[in-house]
Amino acid sequence: MEKTQQPPARWQAPFFTIWTGQAFSLVGSRLVQFALVWWLTQTTGSATVLATATLVALLPGIVLGPFVGTLVDRWNRRMVMIVADGFVALVSVWLAYLFWTGSASVWHVYVAMLARSLGEGFHWPAMQASTSLMVPKEQLSRVSGLNQTLQGALSIVAPPLGAILLGLLPLYGILGIDLATASIAIVSLLLIAIPQPERAAAAGTAAAGGAGRASLWQDFRAGLRYVRGWPGLMAVVLLAMIINFVVNPAFSLMPLLVTEHFHAGVLELGWLEAAWGVGMVAGGLLLTVWGGFRRRVYTSLSGLVLSGIAIVGVGLASEHAFPLALGCLLVAGFLNPFVNGPFFAILQASVAPEMQGRVFTLVGSLISAMMPLSLAVAGPVADAIGIQSWYVIGGVAFALFGAGSFLVPVVVHIEDNGHSTPDGGRTPAPTEFSLAGD
């Protein structure tokens, strides 16, 4: 395995070759996601079914995520991404065949969502961990902003394009598009070498009490100690767990907000998701240019407070005030890059390269751990008292917890507090967080 190396002076060409391929793949994935969710909505009309679909897609990351990250840190990250993209493409082929033969049912869609989530669960940490080795630290916030811009652009393009394609193509045709875009991503990965981190063999040797490479279990435990030894990160994870519990069900049930509360259809759903996307593009571009506050956590917390207020507005919009909900989602989307982008930049800049796969998946698993319970509650409750109530509850939680976190020292100082090394020692987190132009 290659040793860790500093990003080359001309890092842009190799990184953006891979980034562009992944962007094409994401377009196909978003089209499939939109089409499958709308198919479930039209076929069943049940909030419980939509909540179950979201739950099924979350399970691999929650249950297997920490072990997946350990494997990503041990394996060649480029090959992990190639295999993951290929696996997801094969799942699309299988589901396309079922729709083509007219034999697809709800449980088939559940299985496909579960399998696609498993592939993406390997791909995401491998890409995030590779980014920190291909991009200079001082550019990570801007790349995070660009990633948020991409997500926003996909939210703009995918819903209306998905709605148009659903009128022009059978569902198996949309799955065929996903196969083509996944192929583009795989080709880009085959063309570019990705640097690999040098494993911290000393930690594994000490844990094993002798020579040799650490076992999978020892690597997993090292990742746990690493995360547990960083108080600021643990506080942020706890905050995110609570917020995810109260707000994510609202977005999972958005198709029913459109059909049952606003008495609208697929076009209006596309407009709502596109409004979120337009906001994300604008916010991501601003973050890319500006970079955020010098202390990145201030950017995230400020975005959290303001975004919560906007989400409350969606929940308070009456059935005749669809434009109000549209505007509030536009504002919430604009603020979303300022919540997520700086946090990922903090992790990419602070976590040792050979630990990043484990840390990213552990953090993701912990943040997602509360969501199955919230989805199990959200479906029946939304069927009983109305979907818009979840937007009010979630938005208030966003704003209150974001504001309160400014008073928590370990959160405010997450960028300069020390964290434990894999062998239990103490190492200060890097302090080079200023961005060019700040």
pLDDT tens digits, 304-319: 999 999 999 998 998 8
Residue 250: pLDDT over 50: yes
Query: CATH number of the domain that 121 lies in?
Result: 1.20.1250.20
User: Which of 241 and 111 is assigned the larger pLDDT?
Assistant: 111
Residue 423: pLDDT over 70: no
Phi, psi values for residue 425, rounded to 5° = -75, 180
Residue 139: pLDDT over 80: no
Phi, psi values for residue 422, rounded to 5° = -55, -25
- Which pLDDT score, from 0 to 100, does residue 204 have? 40
Question: Is 200 a member of any domain?
Answer: no
Radius of gyration of the chain (CA): 21
> Which positions ≥6 away from 348 have C-beta within 8 Å?
128, 131, 132, 137, 140, 144, 356
Structural contact between residues 268 and 261, judged by C-beta atoms closer than 8 angstroms: no
Average pLDDT of the residues in 429-434: 30
Give the distance, in angstroms, between the CA of residue 203 and the centroid of all CA atoms in the same chain.
30
Residue 234: pLDDT over 50: yes
Question: Is 205 a member of any domain?
Answer: no
What is the maximum span of the chain, computed from C-alpha positions, in angstroms?
Answer: 70
**Total domains, the chain:** 1
Question: Is 207 a member of any domain?
Answer: no
Residue 410: pLDDT over 60: yes
Give the bridge partners for 426, in sequence order: 420
> Which positions ≥6 away from 282 have C-beta within 8 Å?
152, 334
Question: Is 250 a member of any domain?
Answer: yes
- Contacts made by residues 422-431, CB under 8 angstroms, sequence distance 24+: 422/200, 422/203, 422/222, 422/223, 422/225, 422/226, 422/355, 423/202, 423/203, 423/206, 423/207, 423/222, 424/225, 424/229, 426/229, 429/230, 429/350, 430/137, 430/349, 430/350
CA atoms within 13 A on the CB side of 256: 29
Residue 374: pLDDT over 90: no
Question: Is 2 a member of any domain?
Answer: no
Question: Is 204 a member of any domain?
Answer: no
Question: Is 38 a member of any domain?
Answer: yes
Question: Given phi > 0 = left and psi -120 to 50 = alpha, else beta, which region is 292?
Answer: left
Which of 432, 352, 363, 418 has its CA nearest to residue 132?
A: 352
Residue 373: pLDDT over 90: no
Highest mean pLDDT out of 110-119, 270-279, 360-369: 110-119
Average pLDDT of the residues in 89-97: 91
Q: Which helix (H) or strand (E) holds 128?
A: helix 106-134
pLDDT-derived band at 357, boundaries 50, 70, 90: confident
Query: 195-209, 241-255, 267-281 — which is least confidently predicted?
Result: 195-209
Q: Beta strand 419-420 with 426-427: parallel, antiparallel or unpaired? A: antiparallel
Handedness of CA 257, 277, 115, 38 (dihedral sign): positive
pLDDT-derived band at 325, boundaries 50, 70, 90: very high
Structural contact between residues 152 and 283, judged by C-beta atoms closer than 8 angstroms: yes
Average pLDDT of the residues in 109-119: 88
Phi, psi values for residue 408, rounded to 5° = -100, 110
- Taking only the tens place, the pLDDT of each residue in 46-78 is 777 877 887 787 777 777 776 777 788 788 888
Question: Is 266 a member of any domain?
Answer: yes
Q: Provide the 8-state DSSP code for 212.
A: S
Task: Give the mean pLDDT of the chain.
Answer: 78
Burial (Cβ within 10 Å: 0-12, 13-18, ≥19) of residue 202:
exposed
Q: Which domain holds residue 374?
A: 12-192+215-427
Structural contact between residues 311 and 250, judged by C-beta atoms closer than 8 angstroms: yes
User: What is d(CA 432, CA 141) in angstroms, rounded to the nearest whole number?
Assistant: 12
User: What is d(CA 285, CA 291) in angstroms, rounded to the nearest whole number?
Assistant: 10
Average pLDDT of the residues in 277-282: 84
Which of 407, 362, 63 has its CA nearest to residue 229?
A: 362
